[in-house]
Amino acid sequence: MKSFSLPIKWKLTLWYGGILALILVAFCGFVYTYFQNSLQKSIDTKIKSIAEVLSSSMTETHGQSLFGNFERYLENALGKKPKGKFIQIIDASGKIGARLNDLEAEAVPVSFVTLEKALKGEVVYETIETARPRLRMITMPILENKKVISIVQVGSSLEEFEDTMKRLLIIMIVSIITATGGTIIVGYFMAKKTMRPVDQIRRAAVKISSSNLDERIELKGRKDELGRLADTFNAMIARLKDSFQRVNQFSIDVSHELKTPLTILKGETELALRKDRTNEEYKKSLESNLEEIDRMSHIIDDLLLLSKAETKDMRLNLDKVDLRDLLADVCLNMKIFGENKGVEIIAKELEDIRIVGDALKLRRMITNIVENGIKYGHAGGYVAVSACKQDGFACINVKDDGPGISSDDIKYIFDRFYRADKSRKRESGSGLGLSISKWIAEAHHGTIEVESTPSTGSLFIIKLPMS
């Protein structure tokens, strides 16, 4: 069953809408609670004020005018007739002495527990839930000589308070729904506009294949994250294109390198089988075949080495290496090969340097570079090897006075099967020596560079860390 997933623009919209709704609910809840408590305190303050005035007035007059005309008494005591209030006076025995009920409620129940607390001298606030409308009431004892002589109760209707809180609640609910809905609608269109470049990237990605790597994403004028993403994507496509080209070229080169010795093998074998040959002729034919087989084996071994290196299967046998002895030994071994080509091998300025590395691989790296200088050198030329310490690195220089390398070729010199001198393709080995040398240098956390101009020779610079 195919799972359903919301588009990112909807997820963003709903997330922002939900977060806004939570913030608004929390804010409105705080405001609602604050106003509710403030109004309740205001009501408690008003009824307490009335109760205190009555208590003071009754203490001064000893309640003499209380039972005549209670309403007029209240007007005299409070300055005006109280509206929307419930007021009653209870004597110490619990008998109601006077009452004013300016409410729609016909009867207001009096709690026995409240009267008990008042008789003990406590001021009691309570909300009468059973009354209609609900009342907020204060019960205050009137003391004379620290003795409760009577109790005054003042109540106020909560109807207006409840209506106010209901209106506030409705306004808040409507505001939350309106704000959240508006945010979702606006947020959707903004998210849709923002995600439009992502759709462009998707459409461009659909068009890209190994045969169409010229496709690019055009996001004009964008310098934000999506613009940088598009630039990164374009750079990736460029790298992929370069990689595909290198792979294709590599396949062509491998086919060509192996095809040549196979063609020679087939030709010489067919030639030998056309007629009977002498033992000497057969021997020469087999020797030629063996030479081509060795050449193919060398190419395949080098390819396997590079493949293992790229897949991290190749491990270095690290040990302390005396670099001066290693370079001197390489120069001595390559001396005969150089003499056959008329190229002198010179070892000079070899400082006493010790590093940690794989001696066999380091030997192969230096041998490949020296051999490269000999192959491309000319009779009477030289290949000079030197080593020194430089900024914490062992610096190995291999200098020759050969034909040099053009600026167009120098950036490809470490590519597999690449040769700057195309005319010397058959005589110049497998074309993998410098690629292997570069890998060995990098495997030792070092670098290898070349400086060269045509007709002035080349200088290979290898830097290996001295740790």
- pLDDT tens string 314-345: 677 888 989 889 999 889 888 888 888 899 98
Q: pLDDT band at residue 174, thresholds of 50, 70 and 90?
A: very high
Give the C-alpha separation, 284 to 372, whole Å. 29
pLDDT digits (tens, 9 = 90+) for 180-208: 888 888 888 888 887 777 777 778 777 77
Question: Which residue blocks in 274-322 are alpha helix, DSSP H?
Answer: 279-310
Q: pLDDT band at residue 424, thresholds of 50, 70 and 90?
A: very low
Among 3.10.270.10, 2.40.110.20, 1.10.287.130, 3.30.479.30, what is the CATH number of 225-310?
A: 1.10.287.130
Residue carrying the six token digits 């700057």:
420
Fold that domain 319-465 belongs to in CATH: Heat Shock Protein 90 (3.30.565)
Q: pLDDT band at residue 428, thresholds of 50, 70 and 90?
A: very low
Question: Which CATH superfamily includes the segment(s) 8-163?
Answer: PAS domain (3.30.450.20)
* Domain boundaries, given as residue ranges, for the chain: 8-163, 225-310, 319-465
Give the C-alpha separation, 35 to 46, whole Å. 16
Q: Which pLDDT belongs to residue 72?
A: 64
- Phi/psi zone of residue 449: left (φ > 0), alpha (ψ -120 to 50 degrees), beta? beta
Residue carrying the six token digits 């220089």:
397
Q: Which residue has the higher pLDDT, 411 or 62?
A: 411
Write down the pTM of the prediction. 0.48
Asked if 84 and 156 count as a contact pair (C-beta separation under 8 A), the reply is yes
Q: pLDDT band at residue 301, thresholds of 50, 70 and 90?
A: confident
Q: How far is CA 97 from CA 54, 63, 64, 240, 364, in A?
A: 14, 10, 12, 101, 119
Give the C-alpha separation, 464 to 442, whole Å. 9
Q: Which pLDDT belongs to residue 172?
A: 93
pLDDT at residue 80 tops 90: no
Neighbours of 324 (CB within 10 A): 16
Cis bond leading into 403, ω under 30°? no
